[in-house]
A and B are shown apart, each in its own frame.
Chain A
Amino acid sequence: MIGNDIIDLSVAKLESNWQRRGFLDKQFTENEQQLILSATNSFVLVWKLWSMKEAAYKIYAQKNEMRFFAPKKFVCLLISKKKGLVYFKDQIFYTSTIVTQDYIFTLASLEKVTKPYSKFVNPQVIDRMIKIKLEDVTALSAIEIEQKKSKNGAPSYHYKDILLTRSCSISHHGNYGVYSLLYA
């Protein structure tokens, strides 16, 4: 199972002020806050850790019906520049994060090794691009492929009664859109 998150850094800069009083404390553990404050680029680390939490939460949301907002309970551990772990209750999520000047993209997985398909697309047409991709892979007609959403908003793709995506995660922010799929 997978979850992803994308952050358009130019939009994050405009939409949020991470230095606002209470902002860090509501969302990050003591350790994470220290890491952020001692980093050379605190702004980027705020959003890197946030995207790890969000991507992990999206996996949790696929497995559970309950929705909640508890970013502080998703505890991040950085292993390397790219790799990280997120702990929530008794679960571990494996994350891989790409940081560029323009965006941050995190893919989280429940399995240590997964080979999901991820693609950056225009945020306006993500759903259509997924259907076209599934048409390519399955030879089914894109028009007949349907998106369904679980109670808490987790998407999945179906052809009639057949599930086409074992796991699917969609994320968009500012100029960026991305989807990640595990085929059924």
Chain B
Amino acid sequence: MTRIELITSLQKIVKPYVQDQEAFKNLSEETDFINDLKINSANLVDVILDVEDEFDIEIDNESMEKMLSVKAAIDIIETKLADS
């Protein structure tokens, strides 16, 4: 999967949790889940669980700690996919 494809799937995953639609429209690698998309921190775990289901990977606690932006999430998904 290319990075663009990964971002597109991630976009679908975060959509239901996004509270700032304007920021969502302009989503890029630099977009921050909490500061930009205003995703409730309690929903971050849903994003992580959805990512696990969608890509059939396991996100360990250490990786989860860093999953605060699109870029961080894509990096982690890429690494996990390469390992699996």
Residue in chain A with minimal CB distance to B41: A54
Asked whether any CB of chain A lies closer than 8 Å to the CB of B10, the reply is: no
Range, interface on chain B? 10 to 19
Is the CB of A156 closer than 8 A to any CB of chain B?
no
Candidates B34, B43, B66; contact of A16 at CB < 8 Å? B43
Stretch among B1-9, B22-30, B44-52 lining the A interface: B44-52
Given the contacts A15-B42, A15-B43, A54-B41, A22 and B49 also touching, CB distance less than 8 Å? yes
Give chain A residues whose Cβ lies under 8 Å from the Cβ of B44: 69
Chain A interfacial residues counted at CB < 8 A:
21
Most chain B CB inside 10 Å of its own CB: which residue of A7, A67, A69: A69
| Cβ of A68 under 8 Å from chain B | yes
Q: List 12 A-B contacts (CB under 8 A).
A: A23-B46, A23-B49, A26-B48, A26-B64, A27-B45, A68-B65, A68-B66, A69-B44, A69-B65, A70-B65, A153-B34, A173-B40
